[in-house]
Structure 1
Amino acid sequence: MTNTAADSIGSRIAAARKAKGFTQQDLAGKVGVSFQAVSKWETEQTLPDVALLTRIADTLGMTLDELVAGRPPAPGDAEAAMPEPRAYWKQVLGVVTEDIHGDVGSVLGQVHADIYGNVLGNVVGYVRNIHGNVEGNVLGVVQGDIDGYVAGQLLGVIEGRVKLGVRGSKPRSTDQLGAVSGCCDAEMPL
């Protein structure tokens, strides 16, 4: 069975994106792709990667059934369609020894555990792993991995990998910090 233009993943993405008031660039930034990729999904030139479907659905406030098949949530699933509000910590100034489940404004202190969320500002201190994106710069040390991307500059050290790459520029001089000891799954601009 072929999708019609009115009943396709691309049309559902476009409708939900517009209903949320997002531009293609907004959605692309939240999902971790280029705005051109979003445009190609919406015009049915390509389909989103399977690994991104959950992130797209969550960002647009949809269930996977709504996104992929166009089926509304079952009456008992209305709560499941609404994502839980995320916890938010404005700044980490001291030492944290437990995992943080939620978003953090900036890390100025030390997190000797993992952050399960996004860092919306800068990482100036120390973090073990970040299971999300860093929307600002990495000026300090990330001992392990960053599962998302770094939107700003890398002026500190990431000892693991950055799954979706560093979007900002890296320092060009060897006199400056700015190293990823592991690898990056996405190309990092120089």
Structure 2
Amino acid sequence: MTDSIKFLRIRKGLTQVELAKEVGVTFPTVSAWETGKSIPSPRHLKKLATVLDCSVEQIFLLLNNKKLDKNKQKQG
């Protein structure tokens, strides 16, 4: 899955701005997480999991899958 946080955010019915407010970060931070330009800190992962009704492990696994997808695209 290439847009893990985006997928979870949309599933919850939140905009990037709403998610940013709930987690306590800026809109550009959420955008950077969704595009893979940065990853959430452990503190923000916990908040994301709470807001998005999932586990930290689920977010972490989805983020790792996104990195694997990017590496495959670079190699292929």
TM-score bracket, normalised by the shorter chain, equals: 0.7 to 0.9
Letter in 2 for 1:24: Q
Partner of 1:66: 58
The structural deviation recorded for 1:65 is: 1.3
What value does the CA root-mean-square deviation take over the aligned residues? 1.1
Q: Which of structures 1 and 2 has the bigger CA Rg?
A: 1
Q: Match for 1:31 among 23, 43, 61?
A: 23
Distance across 1 between alignment mates of 2:13 and 2:41 = 23
Unaligned runs of 5+ in 1: 1-5, 71-190
Q: Offset of 1:51 from its aligned partner?
A: 1.5
**Percent of aligned pairs sharing the same letter:** 34
Matched letter for residue 57 of structure 1: A
For 1:35-74, what per-residue CA distance to the aligned partner results, in whole angstroms no more than 9, with x for missing partners?
100000000011111221111011000011111014xxxx
Query: By percentage of residues, which structure has more helix?
Result: 2
Moved over 3 A (4+): none
Match of 1:51 among 25, 29, 43: 43
Q: Which residue in the other structure is 1:170 paired with?
A: none
Structure 2: distance between partners of 1:60 and 1:48? 14
Distance 1:55 1:65 in 2: 13
What is the alpha-carbon distance in structure 1 between the residues aligned to residue 33 and residue 54 of structure 2? 16
TM superposition score normalised by structure 1: 0.32
Q: How many residues align?
A: 62
Which amino acid counterpart does residue 53 of structure 2 have in structure 1? G
Tell me which amino acid in the other structure corresponds to 2:36. E
Instruction: Give the Cα–Cα distance (whole angstroms) in 1 for the partners of residues 59 and 38 of structure 2.
Output: 15
TM-score, normalised by the number of residues in structure 2 = 0.76
Q: What stretches of structure 2 of length at least 5 have no aligned partner? A: 63-76
1:20 matched to 2:20:
no
